[in-house]
Each structure stands twice: as C-alpha cells, then as structure tokens.
Amino acid sequence: MSRTRTAILAAVALVAGTAGAAVAAIPPDADVAAIPCTVDYKVQNQWDSGFTAAVTVTNNSAAKSSWAVKWSYAGNQKVTSGWNAKLSQSGTAVTAANESYNGTLGTGSSVSFGFNGTYSGTNALPTTFTLDGVTCNVDDGGSGPGPTDPPGPGTKVDNPYAGAKVYVNPEWKAKATAETGGSRIANQPTGVWLDRIAAINGVNGGMGLRAHLDAALAQKGSDEMVVQLVIYNLPGRDCAALASNGELGPTEIDKYKTQYIDPIAAILADTKYAGLRIVTTVEIDSLPNLVTNVSPRATATANCDTMKANGNYVKGVGYALNKLGDAPNVYNYVDAGHHGWLGWDDNFAPSAALFKEAATAEGATVADVHGFIVNTANYSALKENHFTINDSVNGASVRTSKWIDWNRYVDEQSYAQAMRTQLVSIGFPSGIGMLIDTSRNGWGGTARPTGPGATTNVDTYVDGGRYDRRIHLGNWCNQSGAGLGERPQASPATGIDAYVWMKPPGESDGSSTAIPNDEGKGFDRMCDPTYTGNPRNNNNMSGALANAPLSGHWFSAQFQELMKNAYPAL
C-alpha cells in the first residue's frame, strides 16, 4: 500500500474579511525556497503485521556533512531493520542518522533510506519530520497525478512490488497454520507453482490458476496486488536433477506451447485480472544447466546434452516470455541460478549470453523480460558479513578456500547485483530488476557465526565465519540446518526489486528414497542423506534431511526446522 501525505507550508499572508480583496500572485517556487527541507515517506508494502517504508529527504538549506531525520509514530509501529541509514527508536520516536558513506547532503540534494517495521491496528503515517531539528514539509509530489501516485490498471511500473500487497496463497497458509507455531508466518506471500498442465485447472480438487487470481482480487481490495506464479514445465525439465523431473519428454515442445503456455496466457489476458500485477518466474533450473552440465564438462549429464542439442529449453523459455509478456500487467522474471552455480568466470558471462539468446527466441525480445530471479528454491546466504571476496589470510586469497573455490561471489546479493550489470551490458534494458528468493537462506539458530573465523588459514577463516552452513555449495535438496530468510519486502537494495519467498517453505525438494508416483518425479540421490556425492558437489555428503516426501509435497519436519533456524528470528 503506497501512502503519502502533504502538509503545505505557505509563505503568503492572506487578507481575510474584505470582500473582493486582491491577493498578489506568488511564484510557484516561492514556497519551496522558504522550506528548509522536504520529506517523502512512503509505505511501499504492507501486510497484516508489518510493512516496508522508503523515505527520501531533500535539503533546501545549507550543505551538510552529516544529518539526522526524526519523526514520531501515533501508533505502536516499531522499526525492525533498515538500510542506508542508522535507525534507532525510543518509544514512538524514531531517529535515522546518516551512514559513513552518505553523510554529505548538499543544498537541493536528496538522500534516501528504507526500513522494515511492525505494527498492529492502524499503520498511521507520521505527520511531522525534522532534519537536524528543523521541521520539514511532508511531500507527496504535488497535487494531481505524479510519479508517486498509484498507476492505473494495466500500467507497467518499474517495480511491481513497490506500493503493492503480495498475494497470500490460501492453500499454503492453511498448511502453515496447521503447524505448531506456523501462524507466525502463515500470512507471508509465497509463489504459486504451475508445475504441470493439470495445475492450471487445479490438482486433486486444489485451486487452479483462475481460483488463485480470483482470490487475489478478493485480497486486493482497493490496493495494488502482486500475484507470483512459477512457470515450471519445460520439456525434459531439470536435466541434471531427477527429483524434480517433469511430465513432458525432451521433444514435447509443441505440447508445452499449446497445452501449457497458451492456456496460461489466455487466462492472464482476461480483462477481469487487468488490475493485478502478475509476476512470473520463468522456468527455474533450466538454462543454467546448458552451461554447467553439458559435455565436455565432468558435470555433464546425457539429459542436459540432449536439451542443449535440441534447443527446447531456449525455445520454451522464449515462447513463454513472448506469449506471457503480451499482457500489459504481466512481469516476466527469468531464472538466473545462484552464485554457487554461476558465479565462476567460466559460467557467469556465458550464462548471461544464453539468457539473451532465450529472450530473443520464438518471437520474444529483451523488452519481454522485466528482470531476473536468483536463488529460487535454493539456500545460498543473502549476505555474508564476516568476509569478502577481496580478503586474504597469510597472503592467500579467500578465493583459494575450499568453500569459495575460486568463485567471484560469496553471497546472493552481490551476485544478483553483478549479474544485473552484466545483463544490461549485453543489451537488456537498464531498468531490469532482480528478485532474490530468501525463503530458506536465513541460516540462523545456534550455528550462526557471530564473527570471522580463525585466521589460521583461508579455510578456517571462511568456514568459521560463513552463515551458509551447508557441506558444499552444490548441495540443494532439503538441506539440514537451514532457516527462513529475510521476510518478503520491496526495494531492499540497489537493483533488487524485492526479496521474495518464491519457494513455499515446507514444500520438499525431493524424496529421501524412491517413491512411485504419477507426477513424473524421479529419485535423486542428492536427496538421500546417506549419499556421498558426485562431481557436482565435489563428492561431499548430500546434507539432506531424512524421511522427505516427493518434491512439492508438504514436509512438516523441514518446516519446523526452517522456523527454528529463521534469521531474522521469528
């Protein structure tokens, strides 16, 4: 919910009580010159018990080398975390002071910061702000439609998550609520997975696509609403992982187009849903496999070689982008793997080039891509705070450690921002944004390091300080010790449109043992806790939880572990 408030400070004295009194005209910018500062406070995203806010401060007085903005809440709002400012709160009073890197604020210059908060009851807007003790104007950009006003239905916006609520899947909410302690997160928005043709109309009596969109309209009310869909049914799906194999064979590209993508596109084009912002995550775990798991690499699989040779991953993604992108309220985000998959020099640029190839196939153009998503259904830490890629120990770079293994990135946020820069450099629009799936990358609990590791060598330094507690970065199935990550929020960092929970916490990655099924899902040893590994994880143990059901099925033990290890803690 995007909300702003204006308090105009006039520098004009009006003569009242005299009929027909003449009032001298004042230049439009006279008031602005008389106002020492202006504050734009926007609630970008709001849910039952929390919100994300963005604040922009403009200084119209003398230049400053440091600054502090203060306001007070009328209700019980509490700031829980923030960025680009040092935020503190005493009672209802909040102070936001500059960081070391943004203290300079020249005359006429602006600075922006944001934060997450909690509330109950009404999330009333602050009415008074001060900059270094001086009262500011509170600005909504002026009267009439402007850049801060909500766009009309079907109007494409730069960031679909900004100023919008996000759809809470009633089916996932019911499962979460049924778990002990699950009500604490049951109102979080998660992705709706269309992982087979039958999911379009609903599987085993469950909600189909129209039912979800209708429910989203009911949740929307008069606000903006984002609905998150996972488009996930390529021919020969997941060529390097058996647990999430799909229903379509490697050559069934026509069936994918006519029986899967076309019906979805027709529903999304229904004018009934024109007021929704529909975010699609397009075909996870597909294109990156064509870079990392094909011959002559040691990690190659016959299935991935087949999919590269027949071109159906590229064709399928291009077709989906073209058809789904025809609706003006659909925002396509293409899967871009994660840093522990594509962060190496021989994977990074080739993957970006392949993304562009797919984005210009089957009638699609780069304009059909609104952005990219990383870490979908994975566990890579959002930000590693105890070491950087530039650190060295006893003269040895951390890149030589067994964990980093010459990767260029140590976490998802740095990877996402760098991948965005790379994609823009090869021709994607400069306005593309990134999403990061934080549903299971919190790595909290007692195992979370509180400082750097010992400087004995690069391995003790990295292993002792890393939040990500997996045995190896290549481990992906039902990882033991994982926790819920950052809660979904809009615009959390430069170039990042949102943190999202695209993978619904509690849904299995794959079964621990072979389970006969009619869903086309195989048994992958990476989901077996006794498995000793393969070249893709340097022959390490899988780190998977025991007694897991088929991928996508509810896994209560994992849900409980994710809550227990959540960071930030629940």
How far is residue 74's CA from residue 247's CA, in Å, rounded to a whole number?
55
Amino acid identity for residue 158 in this structure: D
Q: Which residues lie below 8 Å from residue 142, measured CB to CB, with a gap of 6+?
A: 6
The answer to whether 509 is a known catalytic residue is yes
Catalytic residue among 285, 368, 468, 528: 285
Buried b (16+ CB within 10 A) or exposed e, 251-290: ebbeebbeebbeebbebbbeeebbebbbbbbbbbbbbbbb
Whether the CA torsion 119, 123, 124, 127 is positive or negative: it is positive
What's the Cα-to-Cα distance from 432 to each of 103, 308, 368, 370, 495, rounded to whole Å? 29, 27, 11, 5, 8
Active site residue 285: yes
Quick one: CA torsion of 405, 407, 409, 412, rounded to 10 degrees? -80
Residue whose tokens read 């020249």: 106
* First-to-final CA distance of the chain: 24
Residue 514, helix vs strand vs coil = coil
> Of all helices (H) and strands (E), which one includes residue 293?
none
467 contacts 449 by C-beta, under 8 angstroms = yes
Question: CA angle 126-220-81, nearest 5°?
Answer: 40
Q: Residue 41's closest CA among 149, 143, 125, 150?
A: 125
Among residues 154, 173, 283, the alpha carbon closest in space to that of 219 is found at: 173
| Residue type at 199 in one-letter notation | A
Beta bridge partners of 116: 52, 81
437, 468, 509, 524: the catalytic one is: 509
Catalytic residues: 285, 509
